[in-house]
A and B are shown apart, each in its own frame.
Chain A
Amino acid sequence: GEDVEQSLFLSVREGDSSVINCTYTDSSSTYLYWYKQEPGAGLQLLTYIFSNMDMKQDQRLTVLLNKKDKHLSLRIADTQTGDSAIYFCAESRGGYNKLIFGAGTRLAVHP
């Protein structure tokens, strides 16, 4: 299909790790992205991974890419209440890096 798919909701306890999963469709996507959206705000670019990599770590964030299965995940270590937001994965398509977004995963962090 044409869609980038994500689970809609994830609830975690503060201090635990969160893992948000995504499947994409275009095997020729050059870059894959994770964005964060807080209520009433725009999308904040969290991290991205080049398609020839299988892992990227940036402080508390770890991105894993399984190109064979077209599966992308975002792990947030030591999840905090400030991490509560909607997380979007996106794949790039075409020479101008058009982004196709998933529906977003709402992450709720509770004490």
Chain B
Amino acid sequence: DAGVIQSPRHEVTEMGQEVTLRCKPISGHNSLFWYRQTMMRGLELLIYFNNNVPIDDSGMPEDRFSAKMPNASFSTLKIQPSEPRDSAVYFCASTPGYEQYFGPGTRLTVT
């Protein structure tokens, strides 16, 4: 298996633009998590899904952030409009139960 796939790996955008991050979980995994990593705040859980249904989005920082999982093999995290403080590495992880496997991350820079 290729592991968790994220795209793009790097994204540079201007403040105010819409950003969409993509994730393909490992086939057969029924839960998917989105995290954000920054130097100041470390790793933060943003939202997670189980069987494509959002379970807890209490970590989503603002209404500018939204996430969807239209099917078992695809999820998106959207930021609209983006701000410089959204600059971070965004990770997606999937799990069949209790072992979470992380993707390589998307490094987002908002100027």
Contact = CB atoms under 8 A, between A and B. Distances in A.
Given A96-B55, A99-B45, A43 B102 contact: yes
Contacts of A97: 31, 95, 97-98, 100
A104 B104 CA distance: 17
Contact of A45 (B45, B55, B101): B101
B100 A99 contact: yes
A98 B43 contact: no
A43 B103 CA distance: 8
Query: Is the interface on chain A under 10, 10 to 19, 20 to 34, or 35 or more residues?
Result: 20 to 34
A42 B43 contact: no
A43 B104 CA distance: 8
A41 B103 CA distance: 9
B38 to A, nearest CB: 11
Given A42-B91, A96-B50, A96-B55, A101 B104 contact: no
Interface in A30-56: 30-31, 33, 35, 41-45, 48
A92 interface: yes
B100 A101 contact: no
A53 to B, nearest CB: 13
A24 interface: no
A103 interface: yes
A45 B99 contact: yes
A94 B97 CA distance: 12
A96 B29 CA distance: 13
A88 interface: yes
A43 B42 contact: no
A43 B91 contact: yes
A98 B99 contact: no
The winner among B45, B50, B100, B102 for most chain A CB atoms within 10 A is B100
Contact of A101 (B42, B95, B99, B103): B42
Interface string A73-110: 00000000000000010001010111111111000000
